Structure 1
């Protein structure tokens, strides 16, 4: 599942942001009670607004807390479950709580622990304290300061360990719209994602064992939101492309139709499964454009016999092939998504304006 981050500021239009996110198939909200840039005196009022908007749009609300931050709501740790009356569905606890307090809290509300600091003795102690592991999840931090994000190897090893205990895992990718104060450097979990396109980063997090991906910053560009929405709805990956040839209407229609990578995936190509059956009746003549660098889009011509009409996306540089016509290429950003396309993965090519080939 995908989530957004909402920060408790008077200037934040929670209601519109959450309504839009829900319409785009985001189902989770992360917020925090200890953001030093905000005024804690306003937290109760703002949290009530936030929780009401989350409930109205059927979104889960996970709140980052500590014993100190709860004081701003006139609550103690033993009273933290009272936040459920507002509509908070989970509490992320980073520090200041004992294993006994966590186990007790987990009997009342789902608890999210800092994924990067959990070790085996701590988990065993939690289990000894009688915690219901189904009520506990692991949640990585985001890192506002450049060069402080996690290393990929450590991240994967941590996730593998946490999955041994049956814990679900959440992590952050940066936004690509308005970035979060005070540094405006993105809010990723992995340092390599700091300047990465958010949807690409999200697919990589999934490949590294993450169950729930949150946008750490406050905004996404509309085209990025559409990528997340389409994927969250039915698992389809949108690939922007440039069409370089004038195509027959039937071929152009098929090129931009919903399709999928074959279940028996080729090493070198993404083969669009429905293209050949749909276009086999056409007589596609060879053209003098048949180079096949990585990212190019090809359609097999009459010289390929029964393969005529098959549309492919080239994964790696291949020799020119007179039996395949080069008709376009995916954009540089779409190229980064190709490694995450799985067998049977739904794909839709989306033509955009001219872009220089990479």
Structure 2
């Protein structure tokens, strides 16, 4: 047990804050509500020690298990795993319609703000917005709420992926997909395929910034799933008639379910920092990644996009005819020893160094 926590404190701050800490919160709720006999910290020495050991062991086990299962746990919340096909498609269509509505509202407010300087085509677009029964109603309300509300609308829009084909079935799925597609949309650099290469090439501060940003999202996701586990355990406790304080168990179940919705919303908001960190990783990591791979980064953006598209195909699907076009971007390797520093002279006998 001590080794686990020492490892977490030494090199796993994300594990400690993102998964162990929220697990501790849920274990304490479980202990005080469902099995109060295991949380008697005011009991005599032996029983208090037993309660403390139970809390530490349960926290470590729950946190490590949830961290190990984080990929499927995220997939469920993103709408990619465990969702009926028709429901997922319906939710995706709904979010696609929301994205288009928010984008039209942002465009309409932006056009109204510079209405005096619009071109003929832009005036036609603004007239179409004002004639639309839904957008015109939102436009009047958005203008009344002022610039702060306009910034909120832009935040909502930026939590969707740029490509409509990438829109997912849930808010969290869209908030995460927006930065998963960022590298491919801007540079044709598939950060999902090249994540480990990119992570190894970027400077340490950029890598740490990404890890810290994800830690906040992990915290709320772990808190959410832990609450659901506590609610299930409390329900089983009630069904078996083993609850010591049934009223407290029921009140806890009623209170935790709305909290899961709050934690989900906060996880979506917390992805903003994560998205910024991944964006910085892609923007700042392209040059060192290209250098590490033996490529010369092209000066023209179209050429760079072509290079990353070819290399992404090379890594993702293997070599095939046509991928030898990558040769145009490769640089000749340096001759062995050409850039090596001079080697120190061999020490003379009797200079005091151990033999």
Q: Which has the higher strand share?
A: 1
User: What TM-score do you get using the length of structure 1 for normalisation?
Assistant: 0.21
TM-score after normalising by structure 2: 0.21
Task: Pick 1 or 2: higher relative contact order, CA cutoff 8 A, min separation 6.
Answer: 2
Larger Rg: 2
